[in-house]
Amino acid sequence: MASYSLCVATSGGGTRSRAVHSEEYLTWHRTSVAGRRAVYGVGGADGPPVVFLHGWALGSHAYKRAIRRLTTRGCRAFAPALPSFGGTANLPPTSMNLDGYADWVASFMSEVGIVEPALVIGHSLGGGVAIKLARNRPELVRYLVLLNPIGGVNARRPWDWAIGFGREFWPVSEAWELMQAMRGDLVMNFLRNPLGLAGAGLLAQRADLRADLAELKSSGVPVLALTSDRDRIIPRSAFEAVCDTVGADRRVVSGGHAWLLVDPDSFGEVLASTIDVQVAEHEASRVADRRSEVERLLEGTHLSKREVKALVESAAPLWLLSESAAALASDLVLCRPTLQKGEIRALARHIESSTLVRVTIAARDRRGLLADSAAVLTASGLSISNASAATWPRQHLALHSFIVGGGFQFDDAAWDALGERLRTMVATGTAPSPILRALRPVEATVQGIGDRSMVKVVAPDEPGLLATICRYFQVHDINIETLQARTRDGIARLNFLVIGSVDAEGLEALLEQPPAGAMAAGAAVPSTG
């Protein structure tokens, strides 16, 4: 005999949902550092923190294309405009030195909530600031990347710097790209704060950081240093002095001093392996911490330690990072005692300070269950904005969570009706066929080796999108292990860990031009099996 339960929790017992978005572009903000105005850009997912420190006379805007190469690989990038640049206030006169800049960056990291060691990347003057930060506060730096850094010598005359800067705009083929990247920051900095620029320029010209680099070498902070084969501002001898003193790995790329502004793709490629390692290590650490936190939260519940361990340790990392530990723990409570065949448990909780509702469903897993769950919610007038799902094959268990709009207006009778539809779905193995409008643009990518792969879909958010994709997987005998779906600004980003062969072009074609009514091959296919 099938059974179900659906209850609605008030905000007092609800969970606060915090969406995680893979936002590739920087957004610009203002804050206060040491009581003075600071401007910064931030972008990316909840990956390892990256602090990007720009070069002289510029700011974070000039580097936005290069920084995007970091955020698309899974980093959370913070790009402050250093004091005297980009609208950030000057340092106090007594702190107008590279140590003062380093102290400012440490305070900035604290102000924006960076609570773990960061990958710190510094270009030119920013490289000198990064060296001081790593030397003075090594606990804040996980990995240091120096791009054409100052600090190797202090003997260049001022006009040598000026001549070198002018020669950066040759060849003409690169000058346009360089001017396009620099013009906003460069012009505004000269108009807004010429004296601040002059003071910072003198610091860069006179910087001799070889003693700091020698001390940094003993701290154990790993260092990667890059220069370019046509850098007319930092001589190769000065770069080599930096590398030799600190013991850095070194690479030479093609281009001038500002090569990463002209060729951000090259910047992304040369740092790809470094970034990927940082992302992987960060995720592994987050997963371990999340498992421990969920286990702690479930202490004292009706779940035994053995049951908790079995569920948490075998849970997919993608699911463990999909929601807060409190939300995951409250979902797992639905999984015990063991669900019987035909049984479904559901819980709806109002999300604090919003009109959204979090609906969690636990049932014995079967092919098509996620598609059916999403279809029932959509057919009931609920719009799915976020979703996560996990399965435990050995326990034949599925756990689905949806953040939905429209449920805030439901009364008890409406919730009871939804519960009855879910019960019928489990008992009969059928659900409404998803109906979806044609979507454009749609991007589907498949990453993986063999039958197990990560499928990523980016598309305009429309009712029926999730159910349609899940039904496509069902029809093509593709098993969904884990789902993480998020919507922001009308764009849905869905990540599926699946078993089976996925045709990305076929999936794109289906979403861009769905058959009338639903899926051509899926509308009449039963969900059992």
Terminal alpha carbon distance of the chain? 19
pTM of the predicted protein model = 0.64
Q: How confident is the model at residue 180 (pLDDT cuts 50, 70, 90)?
A: low
Residue 19 CB: number of other CB atoms within 10 A?
Answer: 12
Task: Give the percent of the chain with pLDDT over 70.
Answer: 86
Q: Which residue has the tokens 């955020």?
A: 71
Q: Does domain 27-263 have CATH number 3.40.50.1820?
A: yes
- DSSP 3-state assignment of 513? coil
516: confidence class by pLDDT, cuts 50, 70, 90: low
Least confident range from 3-12, 18-27, 62-71, 456-465: namely: 3-12
pLDDT for 162: 56
Q: What strand order describes the sheet that includes 3-9? A: 3-9, 343-350, 357-364, 397-405, 383-392, 479-488, 491-499, 452-460, 443-449
Q: Is residue 4's pLDDT more than 50? A: no
Integer Cα distance of 41 and 26 in angstroms: 5
Q: Catalogue the long-range contacts made by 163-168 (C-beta closer than 8 Å, 24 or more residues apart).
A: 163/232, 164/232, 164/233, 164/257, 165/232, 165/233, 167/232, 167/256, 168/232, 168/233, 168/256, 168/257, 168/258
Using alpha carbons, select from 384, 373, 326 the residue that is nearest to residue 346. Answer: 373
Average pLDDT over residues 176-187: 63
Question: How is the chain split into domains, by residue range?
Answer: 3-13+326-512, 27-263
Find all residues with CB under 8 Å of 446, minimum gap 6, and list them. Answer: 453, 454, 455, 456, 502, 504
- The C-alpha atoms of residue 510 and residue 439 are separated, in whole angstroms, by 9
Would you say residue 505 has pLDDT above 50? yes
Q: Is a pLDDT exceeding 80 seen at residue 50? A: yes
Residue 19 has pLDDT above 60, yes or no: no
Distance CA(465)–CA(141), nearest Å, equals 42
| Predicted confidence (pLDDT) at residue 145 exceeds the cutoff of 90 | yes
CA-nearest of 362, 367, 399 to 525 is: 367
